[in-house]
Amino acid sequence: MKKFFLLPFLSFTLIVTAQNGNTTEKPEEVIPPTATATTDSLSKIQAIKISQTLAPPSNDSTIMKVEASAQDINDMMAALMTDDLLKKKGIKVSDKLPEAEKEIKALFDELLNKDTNDEERIKINQQIFEKMQATLRLSGSFFYQFNSLKNMGRIYSDDYNVRAYTWCCEMEDMSYKFYGFIQDLENDKVYRLEQRSDNPSLSFREVFVPSESDILAPYRWYGALYYKIINIKKGNEPKYILLGWSQLNPNLKMKVIDVLQLEEEKMQLGSAMFKGYNTRVPRGLATRIVFPYCANMNMSIVYNEKDKCFIFDHITPLSDENGNPLGCNGPDMSYDMLKKKGSKWVLKTDVDVKNKE
C-alpha cells in the first residue's frame, strides 16, 4: 500500500534551524515587542523558548524533532495578542469557527487514513481549500488558532497584520501540489494562492521555479510552505519578506526569499530590492532569490533580527570526486548574507558566521 502524507510543517520547523552548539550566537527573543502578557504567560513561553542560531541544521530529522515546540511558540505568542487586538478592533469571533475547523480536520484525516489515488487526493485537497476559504471569511478567523490542523502551516507576520496558511500533498509520482492563502488583517482580505505557471507544459498546481525578475499575482504562485514573515515596510502599502520551502521533484528542493506586497485591493509577490545576487536581472535588482538544491542536501536561511540581515548557505554546483558535474547544487560550507541598506537588501559573500554577533 502506497503511503500518503502531507509534509508536516517545515513551514514551522525551519524557524528554529536546529541547535548544534557550533555558534556563540545568543537566542533571539521570541515574544513580539508589542505583546502585552501576564507574568505567567511569559514564563510559559520562556519554558519552551528555542534558540535561533546562524548555523545550519545538521539534518532534516533534527529540524523535525523541534517541530512541535516551534508550533507551540507560534500559537502561544498569537494567543497573547488575541484579546487586546480583538478588543481594539471591535472584532467578534464567529461561533461557527470551531465546527468549521472540525470539518477541515476530518478532511485531512480522510487523506491520512485512506489509501487514496491522485484523483481522490486532489479532490479532497480542493475540498479543504474551498472550505478553508469560506472559514477565513468568518469574523475573527485571523485570531482563531486552528490548533487541530497539524498538517497546515498557520504562521503570523512579526507585526501580526498578516497570516499565511500553506500545506502540500505528495502525489503517486512523488511530485507535490501546494495550497495556500494569505490573510491581510488591515484590509480584511483573503487571497487564494494558486499555481498557474506561464509555461503551458505545466499542469494546474504543478510547482515551478519562479523567475527572479517577475512580479507575481497570487494566481501565478509557484508553490511553497512559508515558515517566516518579516515586516520590512510599514504604512498604507506594507511589504513583508517571506521565507519558504518547496519540493520541486524527487531530486530537487527549493528555498525562496520572496517579498509580499499588500495594497488595499490586491497583493503581489516580488519586489526589485535584492542587489548583487543576480546580475542578469534589470538594474541588477532581483525581485526574489531562489535556491534550487539537491534533495539529499539541506540548506539553511536564518533571519537575524538584531542586525537586520539574512544569513544563508552559499549554494554552488556540485561535482563528484573526479570533478564530474552532478547536475544539481548544494551548500559548500560557506555562508552569504543579505544586509538591509536603505530600501535595498545587498548581498555580501563569504561571511564569517562564528564571529557574527
**pLDDT tens across 326-351, in order?**
888 999 999 999 999 998 999 999 99
Report which residue type is found at 71.
Answer: Q
**Structure-block grid coordinates of residue 166:** 500553506
The list of the chain residues with pLDDT below 70 reads 1-87, 89, 114, 197-204, 354-357
Give the dihedral sign, CA 72/168/161/55: positive
Helix (H) or strand (E) holding 47: helix 39-47
Q: At 216, which helix (H) or strand (E)?
A: none
Measured in whole angstroms, the distance separating CA 310 from the mean position of its chain's CA atoms is 15
- What ranges in 90-174 are assigned the alpha helix state H? 97-113, 118-136
Cell of 120: 481522490
**Backbone torsions φ then ψ of 94, nearest 5 degrees:** -65, 135
Beta bridge partners of 303: 310
**Which tens digits make up the pLDDT trace of 8-62?**
333 333 322 223 333 323 223 222 222 223 333 333 333 323 222 233 333 433 3
Instruction: Report pLDDT for 71.
Output: 53
Q: Tell me what pLDDT residue 78 has.
A: 64
pLDDT given at position 161: 93
Query: Which pLDDT does position 65 carry in this prediction?
Result: 33
